[in-house]
Amino acid sequence: MGHLIEVNDLRVSFGATPAVDGISFQIRENEVLVLAGESGSGKTVTALALTRILPASARIVSGSVTFRGQDLLALKEEGLAQTRGRDIAYIFQEPASFLNPVFTIGSQIMEAIILHQARTKQDARKEALALLGLVQIKEPERVFASYPHQLSGGMNQRVFTAMSLACRPKLLIADEPTTALDVTVESQIVKLLMDLKKTLGFSMLFITHNLALAKKIADRVCVMYRGKIVEEAGMPALFARPQHFHTKELIAAYEKIGKL
């Protein structure tokens, strides 16, 4: 099974402060890699750096991100824009922050389809409704016509998932997608993502501080601490034989509350 994406010696700084400090990892075809660690460890900065959607104050200092034979860090913006959203898609926490409050759900999904697939509005509408059904929304017509504020947090996360899958990406990056959700909805979203992965065959980079989630979904886990990957292991080896003290801390935290 070949590598879909390879990250080598990636370094990102905010001014003189390193946020990602020389990390390397790979994701194989159809694999779930979990990037785990405490808040501020560099997980989200890593995810954003892969397609260069970092905030203006951040700078990629060095490294390469090779996706299907192309270094994304060396691509011109026009070329990268074709990959971003089409081949590599994101799901973020608190999706309502990324959905436009003045446009309906349907129009926003259609926009993504038309932008990357050059489909007619009629075809885009059909595809948008099909995507809402794919993410197990029971009343796709109603949700299609709704605005983000009219939907629950869990429903908006399903909508955002539908948008991210509009172009059938090869890599889905899920950055703490369940953080703002209650435990029941969290389980539903995680199960949905794993079911969609089996159905559509994408690879996934799942970012979390929650090793209880990692244990359920990961093929491999990379643990980040202060901008570095300090441990990498497959499942269930990480839990059976953790090596780094931060990995042990994360495991202990969830064992204490009975989540592992």
Summarize pLDDT for 27-62 with one digit per residue, the tens. 999 999 999 999 999 999 999 999 999 999 999 999
pLDDT of residue 258: 61
Per-residue pLDDT tens over the stretch 147-186 = 999 999 999 999 999 999 998 999 999 999 988 788 889 9
pTM: 0.93
Statement: residue 260 has pLDDT above 70: no
Residue ranges and CATH numbers for the domains of the chain are 3-213 (3.40.50.300), 230-260 (no CATH)
Provide the pairing of β-strand 58-67 with 3-14.
antiparallel
Cis preceding-peptide flag for 236 (omega within 30 of 0): yes
- Residue 159 to residue 16: CA distance in whole angstroms: 38
